[in-house]
A and B are shown apart, each in its own frame.
Chain A
C-alpha cells in the first residue's frame, strides 16, 4: 500500500468506495439535470413527430417502448461486465455495481413490457401476443426477477455477491442462445406474419426523436445507477457498523 508513483488514472482509482462517494456526490445532480433536459427535448420531439400512416398516434409509444427495451438489454450488459470485474479482477465496486443495476434493469424491462403491450392494443386488439420480441423481453424480465429473488434469499453478502455475479455471467453467455431459440420458435409457429411492432420507415423525423429519447434513457440509467451504488455502499456501512456494535455489546 505504498505506491506513490504517478500513474495514469485507471478504473482502480475508483476502487475505493470513499473516493467513489466523493466523485459520485457532485456528479449525480449534474447527470440528473442533463437527464431531465434530454427527456424534455425528446418528448417534445416525439410529440411533434409526424403521424405514421399505418399506426397513427399510437406510434408515439414506440418512443417510450423501444428505448426502454434497449436499456433493459444495456443494463444487463453493464451487469455482465461488472460480473466479470467481480469474478476475474475482484474489483471491490463491481459487486456494488451489479446489485445497484439490478432493480433498475428490472424496472426498464417492466416498462418495455407494459408499453409493448399497450402499443398494439388500439390497432390489433389483444393485450398480449407471443411474438419473438415481446417474448424475449419477457424472458429477460424473468431473468431479472430471478436474480432479485436470489439476492433476497442469501444472507451472507459475500456469497450473495458471488452467486449474483456467476448467474449474471452465465445468463449473459446464454442470451444469444435464448434469443436464437425464441426466434426459431416464433418462425416455427407464426410463419410470415407481420409483426405489429414493425417500426415505421426510419426517416429522420422518427430517427432523431428516438435517438434523443435513447440518450435520455441512458443518462437516466447512469444517474439512477450511481445513486443506487451510493445507497448500496451506505447500506453496507450500516451493516458493518451494526455488526461492530453487536460485537462490542457482547463485551468480547
Chain B
C-alpha cells in the first residue's frame, strides 16, 4: 500500500496537470469574486471565508474524475483489483494521495488568497484549519462519485452534481467554524467538531461505497 501511495504521488508530480489545474481554478474563482461584487475591501473581507470555501470546494469536486479515470483507461484498474488488499483500502489510499496532491495545495495557498480578499490573519488561519479538515471529506465521499462514473469519458460535472448534496454539511460546518473563530458570539468548536466527525465518517463511507462499485463495475 505504501508503494501505491508513493506511485500516486509520483504520478501526480510527473503529470503536473492535476495539482496545478486545481490550484489555478481556485485562483480563478477568487479572482472572479471582486469582479462580481465589486472591489470594496470591507465586503471582500466579510465574504472572504465563504468564497474561499466555495472555491476550494468546487476545485476539489471538479478534480475528482482524475481519481480512477487514468487507471481505467490504461487497464491498471483491473490489475489493482487483483491485489491482496480490500478494495476499500485501495480506494482510501488513492483518495488520500489524491488529496495530498490536489487538496493540500489548496489549503497551503489559502494565505495568499486570503490576503487577496483582505482577510484578517485570524480569519485566514481559521479557514486554513477548516479546509485542512474539510477538503479530505470532499475527496473521500467524492471517491464514490468517481467510482460510479468511472465508465464515462467526461464524468467531471456529473460527479460534482452527485456529490454536491452530500458535501453541503461540510460546507455549512466549515464556513460556520471559520466565521466562528473570528466573530465573537458565533461558536467555533461545535461546528469544527462536526466537521471532523463528518470527515472521519466519509473516510470510511466513501471508500466502502467506491470499492463496492469498482469491484462490480468491470466490463
A/B touching: CB–CB < 8 A: yes
Q: Between A and B, how many residue pairs show CB distances below 8 Å? A: 86
A244 within 8 A of B: no
User: Which residues A155-178 have CB closer than 8 A to chain B?
Assistant: 156, 159, 162-163, 166-167, 169-171, 173-174, 177-178
Q: By the criterion CB–CB under 8 Å, are B219 and A178 in contact?
A: no
Give Cα A159 to B155, complex, Å: 14
When C-beta atoms are compared, the residue in chain B nearest to A177 turns out to be B169
Please tell me if A145 contacts chain B, counting CB pairs below 8 Å: yes
Q: Say whether B54 faces chain A, with CB atoms less than 8 Å apart.
A: no
A167 with B162: CB separation less than 8 A: yes
A167 to B: closest C-beta gap in Å: 6
B:147-202 near A, CB below 8 Å = 148-149, 151-152, 155, 158, 161-162, 164-166, 168-169, 172-173, 176, 186, 191, 194, 198, 201
- Interface range for A: 20 to 34
| Chain B positions 116 through 139: 1 when the CB is less than 8 Å from some CB of chain A, otherwise 0 | 000000000000000000000000
- In the docked arrangement, what's the CA distance between A218 and B168, Å? 29
At the interface with chain A, which of B34-42, B107-115, B205-213? Answer: B205-213
Please indicate the chain B residues that have their CB under 8 angstroms from the CB of A170 in the complex. 141, 144, 166, 205, 209
- Does B2 lie at the interface of the complex (its beta carbon under 8 Å from any beta carbon of A)? no
A interface SS class:
helix
A185 within 8 A of B: yes
Taking a contact as CB atoms under 8 Å apart, the answer to whether A184 and B148 are in contact is no
**CB <8 Å contact, A167 and B172:** no
Complex formed: what's the CA distance from A142 to B161 in Å? 8
Contact A178 B205 (CB under 8 A): no
How long is the Cα–Cα vector from A170 to B217 in the complex, in angstroms?
17
Segment at the B interface, from A12-20, A146-154, A202-210, A232-240: A146-154
Tell whether, in the assembled complex, residue B219 and residue A159 are in contact, meaning their CB atoms are under 8 Å apart.
yes
CB contacts (< 8 Å) of B219 on chain A: these are 156, 159
CB-based contact B151/A154 at 8 Å: yes
What 11 additional pairs, Cβ within 8 angstroms, besides A139-B168, A184-B176? A145-B161, A147-B162, A153-B158, A159-B151, A163-B148, A166-B209, A170-B166, A173-B205, A177-B198, A181-B172, A184-B172
> Could you show 21 A-B contacts with beta carbons less than 8 Å apart?
A142-B161, A142-B165, A154-B149, A154-B152, A159-B151, A162-B213, A166-B212, A167-B148, A170-B205, A173-B205, A174-B169, A177-B201, A178-B169, A181-B168, A181-B169, A181-B173, A181-B194, A182-B168, A184-B172, A184-B176, A188-B186
